[in-house]
Amino acid sequence: APATSAASAPAPGPAEAKKVTWDVEYIMWAPDCQQRAMIGINGTFPGPTITARAGDLVSVTVNNKLHTEGVVIHWHGMRQVGTPWADGTASISQCAINPGESFTYEFVADKPGTFFYHGHFGMQRAAGLYGSLIVEATAEQDEPYRKDYDGGELNMLLSDWYHENVYAQAAGLERKDKHFQWIGEPQTILINGRGQYECMLGKVTNYHRGIDRYAKTCVRGKEAKLCRDKDRCLMRSECGPYCPKSQCAPVVFDVEPGKTYRLRIASTTTLSALNLQVEGHSLTVVEADGNPVEPFTVKDIDIYSGESYSVLLTTSQMPTFYRPGAFWISVGVIGRRPKTLPATAVLRYTNSKLQWPSSVPPKTPTWDDIERSKRFTHSIKALKNNDAATPAPPAPKRATRTIVMLNRQILVGEHVKWAINNVSLTLPATPYLGAYFYGLQGSAFDATDEAPSGFPDDYNIRAPPAAKDNDYKARVSDRVYELPDGALVDVVLQNADMLTETVSETHPWHLHGHDFWVMGYGDGRYDAKKDFPKLNTDNPPLRNTVVVFPHGWTVLRFVADNPGAWAFHCHIEPHLHMGMGAVFIEGVDKMQDLNVPGEAMMCGVIRTAAAVHLTPARRQRSTALAPAQAPAPAPAP
Ligand SMILES: O=C1O[C@H]([C@@H](O)CO)C(O)=C1O
């Protein structure tokens, strides 16, 4: 029978239809039981969940009610074929929407899957501007794993949360050299926008104290009293995590025993890579970034910022004394030494004898076990010959253009930056899409030269960038890559030492406007002669986000068949802010045929050019305003 019974878990935000109006504004909220200012939509955090069906036209009118800054919203994973102006990237696909102004995004929800949306201007994603975007399959294009779950769907939007506001974070990153202030580890991991700062819902162990010396088990007795005042609780941080109406109340997924559920998981973290597990249950991965994968079963999954998965979970546990039918879902930090306690949610069977699990939440795998993470990531393969009505096209066997991208943390001037080859990306005042649409690229950004497609053969990826004069020097630039229409593009992401010797970090790279095939991964320096023949042309998974592991390489392939200006960047918010990104321009000659809304491009040199046609119109104005401004007739004597 088709699974229509939705499990009674709170979706991240209230569900919305496909045509909506959003007020984006500052709100006071307590996502981890501590009240802070953040960016909300229609008064809530996270923003409303959009649920659409594949092929639907989604229309979102954004009213910018942030009185001190512009805003844009990016629809992460939507390819925006024919609508590059709706991609929601400030300086790339549009001008930021000014305070007091509105903009309507209209795009087709092009394929079924688990997605999300978020701010893409400054560091607004880190300020809480995000929400879920779920695209359901139509009857004709049924997802291949649809028949494999009968329990319904659960949705988990994962994020990390900082108590320091994003303006302070950005200012710290921009300080010079010795005064550079890194954002550090987040205070709290959030599940559907809810977490509990320094507080474990389950028992605190030495393991938890090792992560955060302030870790404490939340006191339930004291809070019970506060909980009774339900209305007051709604906005008060001290109401604590166990008050059901509290903004930081834990997420509880109520499920029936003996069923299989589809758990949708997406991560929009600012920084953290996460590992998720459900006590006593295995997870079968079936979808990655909206694409069917060859199913594989694991105890836990890794998820990097920008990625999404669907996993199938069967509620097969018989209630026992030790496992009375309530289980911890635990989400912990991997890849960087954690200082943040794992987030917890509850999977609760309808026959559970207990409200809360009595066990200790499962431990997160050792944070620096990169080999374990590689094994998980390498297990993801495309589902071949799947019975979906529209199976994904096979990867082309070759590329017509190869861009090798050296990922380096490097000093530029005296600032700590990230650079790709020798370009640390800075965004121009004029959106690239508008610049190409109006043919103003020469004055809108540095179009004298393309961004570099490679780096010197003798560059040592296992040594930090040297400050010597003859070093391969990076500079801040807004140069782009122009890709011929239809080009088959290979991008080799090459990781290297950071400014700290022997240290290299994991970076999740996200491409706008496309899915790409992940052709392969390797350690050390990519060697085209040796490594190219070993790339996976058989079942490379299609994705929109992929990681490059420390000191390793990743090759991805895509077809440049979507005219527009597309960002390609590290999805770690501060890294993008520090220049870790690139811009691909596709279909230069086809750009003029697009239906680009001119009013979305009126900034930078386009505004200057448009202003040329405006002349003072004092006479018309005085005529137009005359009636309203005329003095009121004198009262009759
Ligand atoms: O960009 C980064 O800066 C810090 C560190 O390298 C300097 O404090 C860090 O861990 C990053 O990922």
Residue 633 burial class via C-beta count within 10 angstroms: exposed 0-12, middle 13-18, buried 19 and up:
exposed
Q: Is 167 in the pocket of ligand 1 (CB under 6 A)?
A: no
Pocket test for ligand 1, best of 175, 409, 418, 573 (most atoms within 8 A of CB): 409
pLDDT at residue 264 is higher than 50? yes
- pLDDT range class, residue 227, cuts 50, 70, 90: low
For residue 3, what pLDDT is reported? 32
117-138: average pLDDT: 97
Digit-coded pLDDT (tens) for 72-97: 999 999 999 999 999 999 999 999 99
Q: Is 407 in the pocket of ligand 1 (CB under 6 A)?
A: no
CB 343 within 8 A of CB 186: no
127-138: average pLDDT: 96
pLDDT at residue 559 is higher than 50? yes
ipTM of the predicted assembly exceeds 0.95: yes
Q: Which of 179, 123, 214, 186 lies closest to 337, judged by CA? A: 186
305-330: average pLDDT: 92
Q: In Å, what is the CA distance from 262 to each residue of 145, 309, 314, 344, 389?
A: 9, 10, 9, 19, 20
Which residue is listed with tokens 């400030």? 90
In ligand 1, the atom with minimum distance to the C-alpha of 336 is 10
Residue 468, token pair as written in the block: 């010597």
For residue 4, what pLDDT is reported? 32
- pLDDT range class, residue 228, cuts 50, 70, 90: low
The DSSP element (H or E) to which 386 belongs, if any, is none
526-532: average pLDDT: 98
Distance from Cα 184 to the centre of ligand 1, integer Å = 8
DSSP state letter for 281: B
pLDDT at residue 229 is higher than 70? no
CB 250 within 8 A of CB 192: no
Digit-coded pLDDT (tens) for 182-205: 999 999 999 999 999 998 888 889
pLDDT at residue 334 is higher than 50? yes
In ligand 1, the atom with minimum distance to the C-alpha of 271 is 12
pLDDT at residue 277 is higher than 90? yes
In ligand 1, the atom with minimum distance to the C-alpha of 180 is 8
For β-strands 487-494 and 401-412, DSSP reports them as parallel
Residue located nearest, by CA, to atom 1 of ligand 1: 575
Q: Say how far apart CA 186 and CA 161 lie, in whole Å.
A: 5
pLDDT at residue 587 is higher than 50? yes
Report which of residues 322 and 99 the model is more confident about. 99
CB 506 within 8 A of CB 550: yes
Q: Torsions phi, psi of 210, nearest 5? A: -70, -25
CB 507 within 8 A of CB 495: yes
For residue 7, what pLDDT is reported? 43
Q: Is 498 in the pocket of ligand 1 (CB under 6 A)?
A: yes
Residue located nearest, by CA, to atom 3 of ligand 1: 182
Alpha-carbon dihedral 331, 336, 338, 340, rounded to 10 degrees: -60
Beta-strand runs (E) in 30-90: 36-41, 49-53, 57-64, 73-76
Q: Is 182 in the pocket of ligand 1 (CB under 6 A)?
A: yes
For residue 12, what pLDDT is reported? 63
Beta-strand runs (E) in 32-148: 36-41, 49-53, 57-64, 73-76, 102-108, 113-119, 130-136
Q: Say how far apart CA 549 and CA 553 lie, in whole Å.
A: 7
Which residue is listed with tokens 């701010």? 119
The DSSP element (H or E) to which 429 belongs, if any, is none
Distance from Cα 122 to the centre of ligand 1, integer Å = 18
324-349: average pLDDT: 96
Q: Is 505 in the pocket of ligand 1 (CB under 6 A)?
A: yes
In ligand 1, the atom with minimum distance to the C-alpha of 503 is 6
Q: In Å, what is the CA distance from 424 to each residue of 477, 495, 523?
A: 6, 15, 24
154-169: average pLDDT: 98
| Average confidence score pLDDT of the chain | 91
Residue located nearest, by CA, to atom 11 of ligand 1: 182
Distance from Cα 499 to the centre of ligand 1, integer Å = 9
Pocket test for ligand 1, best of 183, 416, 506, 575 (most atoms within 8 A of CB): 416
Q: Which of 55, 54, 73, 58 lies closest to 16, judged by CA? A: 58
For residue 141, what pLDDT is reported? 80
Residue located nearest, by CA, to atom 7 of ligand 1: 182
In ligand 1, the atom with minimum distance to the C-alpha of 499 is 6
Rama region for 55: left / alpha / beta (φ>0; ψ in -120 to 50; rest): left
For the chain, the first-to-last Cα distance in angstroms comes to 84
Q: Is 89 in the pocket of ligand 1 (CB under 6 A)?
A: no
216-236: average pLDDT: 61
For residue 8, what pLDDT is reported? 41
pLDDT at residue 435 is higher than 60? yes
Which residue is listed with tokens 């070759």? 398
Partners of 154 in beta bridges: 263
Q: Is 430 in the pocket of ligand 1 (CB under 6 A)?
A: no
Q: Say how far apart CA 313 and CA 610 lie, in whole Å.
A: 56
Q: Say how far apart CA 347 and CA 325 lie, in whole Å.
A: 8
Residue located nearest, by CA, to atom 8 of ligand 1: 182
Digit-coded pLDDT (tens) for 463-494: 998 755 556 889 999 999 999 999 999 999 99
Q: Say how far apart CA 92 and CA 373 lie, in whole Å.
A: 33
Q: Say how far apart CA 44 and CA 21 lie, in whole Å.
A: 14
Coil, strand, or helix at residue 282? coil
* Proportion of the chain above pLDDT 90, given as a percent: 78
H-helix segments, 400-540? 432-437, 441-444, 528-531
Q: Is 284 in the pocket of ligand 1 (CB under 6 A)?
A: no
Which residue is listed with tokens 């600012």? 270
Digit-coded pLDDT (tens) for 245-254: 788 888 999 9
Digit-coded pLDDT (tens) for 619-629: 555 555 555 55
Distance from Cα 182 to the centre of ligand 1, integer Å = 6
Read off the amino acid at residue 168: A
Q: Say how far apart CA 494 and CA 511 lie, in whole Å.
A: 16
Which residue is listed with tokens 């006191």? 219
Q: In Å, what is the CA distance from 86 to each residue of 73, 82, 559, 595, 597?
A: 9, 9, 20, 11, 10
pLDDT at residue 542 is higher than 60? yes
pLDDT at residue 356 is higher than 90? no
Q: Is 409 in the pocket of ligand 1 (CB under 6 A)?
A: yes
Tell how far CA 319 is from the center of its chain. Answer: 37
Digit-coded pLDDT (tens) for 17-48: 589 999 999 999 999 988 899 999 999 999 99
* Proportion of the chain above pLDDT 70, given as a percent: 89
pTM of the model: 0.93
Distance from Cα 347 to the centre of ligand 1, integer Å = 36
Q: Say how far apart CA 2 and CA 153 lie, in whole Å.
A: 12
Which residue is listed with tokens 């890849």? 335
